[in-house]
A and B are shown apart, each in its own frame.
Chain A
Amino acid sequence: MGIGKEELWKNVLLNNSQPVKEMNRLDVGKNDSFYVYRLKRNDYRELNRIYAADNKKESKDFLFLATAAKLALVDSKLSKEIIYKDTVLIVSHESPELGNFYDLIINETYKTKFKNKKISKANYTKYLYSNLSKSAYNLQSFMFLFRIAKYLNIHGFTQYINNACASGLYGIESASQHIKLNKCKAALVVAGDHPDFYKYLWFKRIGLYSPNGQLRPFDANSNGFVFGEGAVGIVFEDLEHARKRKATIYGEYLGGGFSQDCWKVSFPAIKEKHYENAFVQALAISKIKKKDVDLIVPHGVGNYIIDRFEAEVIKNIYIEHRLPLISAFKPYFGHNLGGSALLETALLLLAIKNRQVPATLNIKQKHPRINLDLVDRNTRKKINCAVKMACGFAGYNAVAVFKRL
């Protein structure tokens, strides 16, 4: 959907976003294809221009995060001194560089098989370890923390959070905690992902990936989600500090509710109330009444069971109240995994700022059992209070409340 907030917002309002189909080599003579939301070729050029690091070839994972972080800092207009001394960097990514690591393994394996090299299994493993040790080392999370901090000259402190697809909201809560405890003046939360073919293979095997690339949250014809690549950075700071320096304020983070399912890795505990409890907790901490919420942005992954469960959570909360507007944002940029919750929060904040709720794309037919009304066209509305929900793998539930100022 473009690089930078203006382009993102402009493209979102066009309500036109489609994934591309990619063919990948699995083994000698064995291919598979999958749909994925990719950046456009011009976008990559623009990323490299913004990153501006002497033509150094960077991995997509790093390039996305570093550039998003830079864009957020530039947009915040924080002083260099605050960035240097008093900013905390919080990074979220589920499995940094794993895709590149597997690309290398597959390519090395393919190369060896293709060339019909006579190589024993034991020697082959040794060969791989000697050839891939750099790539294996890059799987360490601190690489990103260090490199982004160095790139942006951040010397406060750093934090790496991995709470699956809910990571972004956990990152926001952590940022808020550090600011409230006066440990920093500002916090830059960055999250993203470069979902790869190998993750796709797994999601396909467990039946969660859309075979035709149609991400339709809560829809009768939903058949799974589609990955999307990218990253996002959001700067948080103390309200008084932001007002004093006349910063652009997109919204106020009022608080969040967090819970653990204690159930399956790849499925929410649909018979339990943990996700609902996180919602209730978020409203209580934020001192917001449910009737005052104008917009809910759910996780909305496009899987019938997960969507139905999430819809039930929302409907249980609003059992005696009219539902607020509900719009699911994944069809704009796909499922960005570890970055998804933060990416959708950024769009939510733009919706607050621009007084307009983007439609949920790809909705054709309401699912009779889910029966959730979604915003089906861009709707002008002053959003005073909005809620972002995320129910990540491994049972991580998070609900965050934001307010217009």
Chain B
Amino acid sequence: MNSKDSDRVVITGLGIISSIGIGWKEFWKNLIAGKSGISRIETFDTSDFDRHYAGQVKNFDPQQFIGNRSLSHLGRTSQMALAATHLAIEDAGLSYEELKQYRVGISIGTTMGEPQVLEVMNNILIRHGFDDVDPKLVPVYPSNGISASIARNLGVTGDNLLLANACSAGNYSFGHAFDNIKLGKADLMVVGGADSFSKLNLVGFNRLFAVAPEKCQPFDKNRKGMIVGEGAGIVVIETLENAKKRGAPIYAEILGYGLSCDAEHMTSPEVKGITKAVTKALKATGIKPEEVDYICAHGTGTGQNDKNEAQAVRNIFYTNGHKVPTSSIKSMLGHTMGAASAIEGIACCLAIKHNILPPTINYEELDLECDIDCVPNKSKSQKTKIVLNNSFAFGGNNACLVLSSIKNNDK
């Protein structure tokens, strides 16, 4: 046994609920084909709004994953998180009985948690008054219910943390879980992010004039904003030693991460803050900029985010003619908020596994302020060893995760 294997943290199971696929195989097939999950909103009447498109998960049947009894106590975000958890555990080759042998922790990120529950309560309240609001609905709203419901469903009584760091919450959860495994606080961590689409999200983002009319065009000259999406991305992480012992599939190694806080502008990430998070991540992992093969961008499709992210990427990585491909899968999924960086983390794992980089679709015209290789419109085959997963959320929550392939002789 390599003694260092116990210090190395690897990803061994992927679970995803997204608008372009449920389960990583369908997701990946559609992702590299450049298929868009953006469609006209059907869950509520949008005639009162000037925006009508979202990245909704339309073929998700929670009953496939969760028993009827539990369903009534769960909001849509928890349902998607739980379904993704089951997929990840199955993918990791773990049985529920086997889970009991390990000290399992849970770390989940989200933005608002269960906004749809709030909407249901509001509608009842407005139309019928407080007395008609079902008291069982109230405890479904707090975001801490997401990670608690995963624990309850799996019977996992270990450490459990709910992080609400806006649209970077997934990466923050990866970071926390990585530290927990490194410190020996848990043998396995169920990690990721989840968020559901709601009228509240649409209204909130639209109020900021941040929502595009029909499509998301990250880094394009004519980009008009983001598209609100939803979904869940959950992974299983453990030490390399444990993964080898179990004969688990190893998708990638987590080398480390970097966090920073802008505290400059509520909705626009700053070049300085982005640079700080990325350079902290590189420093923590000992990776040189020229060693990075691919960056999964935050790339929301908003004017300011893409411009600043592109500038930071250029400053750090575009030296001596070296150009790191940097694509945004939000062009296909929309912005899945608290799930975004978790789903993008899964895309990074799959890019490493298949040596294929997912594209930025809807790319039409070069913006000189975003002059990066955004893998325009078509996926690209390329040997991919070191990958960065960027997330730069509202409120100045910047996070960058560094993933690496496992060398063949390490498997």
Contacts and interface: CB of A to CB of B under 8 A. Distances in A.
Contacts of A174: 161, 176
Contact of B142 (A124, A136, A394): A394
A399 to B, nearest CB: 13
Contacts of A164: 142, 144
Nearest to B276: A155
Interface residues of A, number: 68
B278 to A, nearest CB: 13
Nearest to A26: B130
A137 B130 contact: no
B160 interface: yes
Interface string A237-281: 000000000000000000000111111011000000010010000
Indicate the size class of the contact surface on chain B.
Answer: 35 or more
A161 B162 contact: yes
A74 interface: no
A272 to B, nearest CB: 8
B247 interface: no
Interface of B: 45, 48, 73, 106, 111-113, 115, 118, 122-123, 125-127, 129-130, 135, 138-145, 148, 151-152, 154-166, 172, 176, 179, 182-183, 199-200, 203-204, 207-208, 259-264, 266, 273, 276-277, 393-398
Contacts of A170: 161
Given A125-B126, A156-B261, A202-B135, A396 B157 contact: no
Given A133-B203, A163-B144, 6 more contacts: A95-B141, A125-B123, A129-B203, A133-B207, A263-B152, A393-B144
A143 interface: yes
A114 interface: no
A44 interface: no
A140 B172 contact: no
Contact of B204 (A136, A177, A394): A136
A157 B400 CA distance: 12
Interface stretch (A144-152, A227-235, A299-307): A144-152
A33 B182 CA distance: 51
Contacts of A106: 125
A11 interface: no
Given A136-B203, A141-B166, A262-B152, A95 B142 contact: yes
A158 interface: yes
Nearest to A182: B284
Given A27-B129, A142-B394, A174-B176, A155 B141 contact: no
B144 A94 contact: yes
B144 to A, nearest CB: 5
A262 B151 CA distance: 6
A128 B126 contact: yes
B166 A262 contact: no
16 contacts: A94-B142, A124-B126, A136-B204, A137-B207, A140-B112, A145-B261, A146-B263, A155-B262, A155-B276, A163-B162, A202-B139, A259-B157, A259-B159, A260-B106, A265-B139, A394-B144
A313 interface: no
A105 B122 CA distance: 8
B161 A161 contact: yes
Interface in A375-402: 392-396
Contact of B394 (A94, A121, A146): A146
B161 A27 contact: no
- Nearest 10 A/B pairs, CB to CB: A142-B395, A146-B395, A142-B166, A157-B259, A394-B148, A149-B263, A141-B164, A137-B204, A265-B139, A260-B151
Interface string A113-139: 000000001101110110001101101
A396 B130 contact: no
A146 B263 CA distance: 6
